[in-house]
Amino acid sequence: MNIHDQTITMLRNYFQSFGENPAKAKIVTRAIYKEHITDFSQITTLSATIRQKLAEDFSFTNLTLITKSETQDTSKYLFGLADGHTIETVLMKHNYGNGVCISTQVGCNMNCVFCESGKLKKVRNLETHEMVQQLLYIRDVLQIPVSHVVLMGIGEPFDNYDNTMAFIDIVTEQAGIDIATRHVTISTSGITPRIIEYANRPVLNSLAISLHAPNDELRNQLMPINKAYPLAPLIEAAKLYTQKSGKKITFAYIMIKDLNDTPDCARQLATLLKDINCYVNLIPYNKTRSTHYEPSSWERIHEFWALLKENGIKVTVRREFGGDMNAACGQLSSDYKGEI
């Protein structure tokens, strides 16, 4: 077992399983995530016997950095995993802090027609420690402070539910990495049963749904997941989240030329979302290598934005990060073919 798989609750259970005081879980968590130890022998507040047992039961490995590319406000990292697969992580420098965009799977099964990551096919889920270490590498190895986490890299977080939940518990734990709950955003293509399950958790992070179409006919074409989980129940699940969390939900809507950017689409979207406490985030489509779609013109985006606003929908247009270096949303594809 890797130590970065362990939530504080798991560590409490671990200590209890051999009759030790569960409060030691906090000591271990603090040592790893606040004091940045990388070897149990460094936790001198624990007895030698306990340190020895921890070292027998848990390993500390890290990701291997293969390459990185950087522009002024975005860096993209390609990491190697223990089994030879690769994943990508993006660091975005905002004026309010640094955000890390985490991948949750090797490849992705969602097959959204416009998305580069979806062309990869899912190979496997990431283990919790592989998600935690994407953040730790940036925070501890590169020594760059991280204030925000978005689960918007490669993969569908709700198709890797349990590991994603453990990841969230680890990064928000106050005795540990301690990122504010609202500064962690899960983005999902809309796996409705998992949204409902998530909405019933006691503590809720920020949630975004990749919507991209205002009706089932168009969404079925763009996002095959919509055939399994169509819009009406998806919107109900989104409402449940807003009620349980008291927070707004974000709907991401990429603007693809002549496909989902017409005034009619804007009106339909306003009707679909009229009773829900939400933001719409309009994202200019990023042209990718293997898709033939084009971004909407700024005039179209502005018109769409204005129509939503007129209809009482809170709407913003996202500034794109990393578009010039294939590090933008949906352009992560981890297409590295070299040797690790």
For ligand SAH, the closer CB: 226 or 331:
331
What dihedral angle (degrees, nearest 10) is formed by the CA atoms of 151, 156, 160, 161?
A: 70
101: annotated active-site residue: no
Rounded to whole angstroms, how far apart are CA atoms 213 and 192?
A: 16
Rounded to whole angstroms, how far apart are CA atoms 42 and 44?
A: 6
Residue number with the smallest Cβ distance to ligand SAH: 330
User: Strand ranges (DSSP E) for the chain?
Assistant: 64-70, 74-80, 86-94, 97-101, 105-106, 124-125, 148-151, 184-188, 206-210, 249-255, 278-284, 314-317
Q: Which residues pair with 65 in a beta bridge?
A: 79
Is residue 254 within the footprint of ligand SAH (CB under 6 A)? yes
Binding part of the chain for ligand SAH, among 59-67, 123-131, 134-142, 187-195 by CB under 6 A, reads 187-195
Alpha carbon distance, N-terminus to C-terminus of the chain:
23
Q: Please state the closest distance from residue 252 (CB atom) to ligand SAH, in A.
A: 4
Residues 20, 56, 88, 127: which is the catalytic one? 88
Q: Please state the closest distance from residue 10 (CB atom) to ligand SAH, in A.
A: 25
Q: Please state the closest distance from residue 164 (CB atom) to ligand SAH, in A.
A: 11
278: annotated active-site residue: no
For ligand SAH, the closer CB: 133 or 188:
188
Residues 20, 320, 329, 339: which is the catalytic one? 329
Structural contact between residues 107 and 123, judged by C-beta atoms closer than 8 angstroms: yes
Rounded to whole angstroms, how far apart are CA atoms 340 and 332?
A: 19
Is residue 285 within the footprint of ligand SAH (CB under 6 A)? yes
For residue 328, with 0-12 CB atoms within 10 Å meaning exposed, 13-18 middle and 19 or more buried, which class applies?
buried
Angle at 225 between CA 222 and CA 229, to 5 degrees: 120
For residue 143, with 0-12 CB atoms within 10 Å meaning exposed, 13-18 middle and 19 or more buried, which class applies?
exposed
Binding part of the chain for ligand SAH, among 37-45, 232-240, 279-287, 304-312 by CB under 6 A, reads 279-287
For ligand SAH, the closer CB: 143 or 290:
290
Binding part of the chain for ligand SAH, among 33-41, 59-67, 182-190, 302-310 by CB under 6 A, reads 182-190
Using CB under 6 A, which residues numbered 142 to 181 contact ligand SAH? 152, 156
Judged by CB under 6 A, the residue of 163, 206, 288, 333 near ligand SAH is 288
Judged by CB under 6 A, the residue of 28, 31, 115, 195 near ligand SAH is 115
Q: Please state the closest distance from residue 229 (CB atom) to ligand SAH, in A.
A: 12
Binding part of the chain for ligand SAH, among 5-13, 53-61, 109-117, 199-207 by CB under 6 A, reads 109-117
Three-state SS at 8: helix
Rounded to whole angstroms, how far apart are CA atoms 138 and 145?
A: 8
* C-alpha 146, offset from chain centre: 14
For ligand SAH, the closer CB: 187 or 245:
187
Q: What is the residue-wise DSSP string for 276-320?
A: S-EEEEEEEPPP-SS----BPPHHHHHHHHHHHHHTT-EEEEPPP
Binding part of the chain for ligand SAH, among 20-28, 87-95, 186-194, 241-249 by CB under 6 A, reads 186-194
Judged by CB under 6 A, the residue of 29, 75, 188, 333 near ligand SAH is 188
**What would the two tokens of residue 67 be?**
């390459």
Judged by CB under 6 A, the residue of 75, 206, 286, 333 near ligand SAH is 286
Contact pattern from residue 308 through residue 337 relative to ligand SAH, giving x for each residue in contact according to CB under 6 A and a dash for the rest: ---------------------xxx------
Binding site for ligand SAH (CB under 6 A): 110, 112, 114-115, 152, 156, 187-189, 210, 252, 254, 283, 285-286, 288, 329-331
Q: Which residues form the catalytic set?
A: 88, 329
